Amino acid sequence: MSPVSLKDIEIRVLKGLQGQIKLPMEAKDLATIMGLDYAVLMTAVYELQNQGYATFAEQEVDEYQLTDEGKKYAQTGLPERIIIKYLLSHQLKESPLNELQKKVNLEQNLFFIGIGNLKKMRWIQTSKATGEETIYLSVQEAPQIPLEQLLATMIETGGIFANQLEKMDFSTGDRVRDVDANKIVEVVRKRKIAKQVKYTRRLVNLTEKGKKLDINKVVAKTEVTRLTPDLLQSGEWKNVSLKPFNVAARGPSLFGGKLHPVTLLINKVREVFLSMGFTEIRGPIVESAFYNFDALFQPQDHPAREMHDTFYLDNPKVAKLPPEEYVRAVAQTHETGGSTGSIGWGGKWSEAIARQIILRTHTTATTIRRLSEIGRNKEPLPARVFSIDRVFRNEKVDFKHLAEFTQIEGIVIDKGVTLSDLRGLLTSFFTRMGFSKILTRPGYYPYTEPSLTVAVYSEDHKRWFEMAGSGIFRPEVTEPWGIKDPERVLAWGMGFERLAMLYYEYKDIRDLYRNPLSWLREVPV
């Protein structure tokens, strides 16, 4: 068997441990005794542990430690002991209290504590029958009381563990009240003899192998990280051990410049739609109520138009509208249903309301703009467009709401397209974004019929997340622009930030734009 070889410091610590009479031992005490830095000691202990010579364990300690007062009592005896000892040794069966006080060498307050406790234990009695307060001894002997038993135990070690205390047998003091541990603890606390402390002990011990190892036979080994010409020339290389490389160690993290995760994800979404044959469109952020609401058959008294949902602009104040005939066609769908067979919303449609200027509340305003062009210009079908763009809603900002956010939106215009096409399209989109299961449920939007809400299943969260709204645009939306059955328009829209949060596993939506540096650095791209 080849000789055991250890580093100098390990040999020193092992020797130190073998020299201890009492093990296990607290690491910090060992460090003090050996005059070693704690961290240096611990490194050696870990290494010795790895090699099976030592063990290291952490232990939560709940301990009672003697206070200064407790230590004093432990040395001089409790005041009650001092008094009773005096009485018994002097065969003093009765004595006026103040005389006794002069004879017993105790401070006033301690004397009275002692007298009080002796009375409680019925070792003495007091009476004022003679006019003067007099004490009468009622016992012939005074055995050790539990508190003294405890003090004796504690003075040896300076403390006692709570669980040890619980197990202590105090039954010998049958003449006294305090025979169970709980009561003792109470007394100890009240008399400020000990205090309870909780801490972690770090204990070092030797294993059998460590105890048996003959330190004199251990070869001190020098560890080198590389072979130098000197080592080779001198032949010393034979005596050193090469420190192995830890190939599993992590290298330092380097944070290079990169695109913002929001931009990266937008690009990814963009690529998915482009690869599916879509064209990207953009539209104005400052939009007319006409395109944002009216062209989408949203009634003029619809609650979403209220100030608290929509930002209205003072300047410019009035929007331009498309040529008169189209405005009329939209107005008619609202008032009577126009040529669509619907009865509309009734009432009088107001052009002034449609001319109000707002920050668009959804990018459906942008897709309807594009639809209106396609219809008016009779552009060839199919038409597939998408947009990823900023929208605004007068929301209270919190961890899942922003007043300014991004929507992913799209439409497909073609003859005879159906809900299945819509479902298929959304499934491919979400699959490419990493969600393979989608669920559609009936929904409601003023501009689609039928309407579907779309949820995706997150494997990470093991649950469904509502992600998008979709449907087939109603005739009231498409006919004013000349798009009629069998030409149909599949439409959908969704919040980008929600997708981003699932994609990046992020909890607070605001952080996407607050730009916490640590996240920006670490988020995988």
Residue ranges that bind ligand PHE, judged by CB under 6 A: 362, 364, 445, 448, 469-471, 491-493
Rounded CA gap, 72 and 110, in Å?
Answer: 12
Closest to 387 in 3D by CA, of 369, 363, 371: 363
Token pair in block for residue 213: 């190892």
How does DSSP classify residue 382? -
Q: What is the DSSP string of 145-161?
A: PHHHHHHHHHHHHSEEE
Which DSSP helix (H) or strand (E) runs through 227?
Answer: none
CB of 442 to ligand PHE, least distance (A): 12
Rounded CA gap, 95 and 115, in Å?
Answer: 12
Taking the least distance from each CB to ligand PHE, the nearer of 332 and 448 is 448
Taking the least distance from each CB to ligand PHE, the nearer of 70 and 493 is 493
Rounded CA gap, 116 and 120, in Å?
Answer: 6
Token pair in block for residue 167: 């197990």
Closest to 443 in 3D by CA, of 435, 434, 452: 452
Beta strands in 140-193 (DSSP E): 159-161
Closest to 81 in 3D by CA, of 146, 168, 125: 146
Taking the least distance from each CB to ligand PHE, the nearer of 83 and 358 is 358
Closest to 499 in 3D by CA, of 444, 429, 451, 410: 429
CB of 438 to ligand PHE, least distance (A): 15
Beta strands in 190-347 (DSSP E): 194-206, 219-220, 222-224, 240-242, 279-280, 286-288
How does DSSP classify residue 459? T
How does DSSP classify residue 177? S
Q: What is the DSSP string of 20-76?
A: -SS-SEEHHHHHHHHT--HHHHHHHHHHHHHTTSEEEEEEEEEEEEE-HHHHHHHHH
CB of 450 to ligand PHE, least distance (A): 11
Taking the least distance from each CB to ligand PHE, the nearer of 12 and 362 is 362
CB of 365 to ligand PHE, least distance (A): 9
Rounded CA gap, 370 and 291, in Å?
Answer: 10
CB of 468 to ligand PHE, least distance (A): 7
CB of 417 to ligand PHE, least distance (A): 14
CB of 448 to ligand PHE, least distance (A): 5
Reduce the secondary structure of 412-431 to three states and give it as a string: EEEECCCHHHHHHHHHHHHH
Contact 468, 453 (CB under 8 A): yes
Residue linked to tokens 């020193």: 12
Taking the least distance from each CB to ligand PHE, the nearer of 170 and 392 is 392
Taking the least distance from each CB to ligand PHE, the nearer of 173 and 450 is 450
Taking the least distance from each CB to ligand PHE, the nearer of 333 and 364 is 364
Q: Angle formed by the axes of helices 146-157 and 68-76, to 10°?
A: 110
Taking the least distance from each CB to ligand PHE, the nearer of 364 and 440 is 364
Residue linked to tokens 């300690």: 61
Rounded CA gap, 80 and 103, in Å?
Answer: 14
What are the residues facing 219 on neighbouring strands? 5
CB of 297 to ligand PHE, least distance (A): 12
Token pair in block for residue 256: 């290079």
CB of 494 to ligand PHE, least distance (A): 7
Residue linked to tokens 């305090």: 178
Taking the least distance from each CB to ligand PHE, the nearer of 261 and 493 is 493
Taking the least distance from each CB to ligand PHE, the nearer of 440 and 470 is 470
Taking the least distance from each CB to ligand PHE, the nearer of 362 and 488 is 362
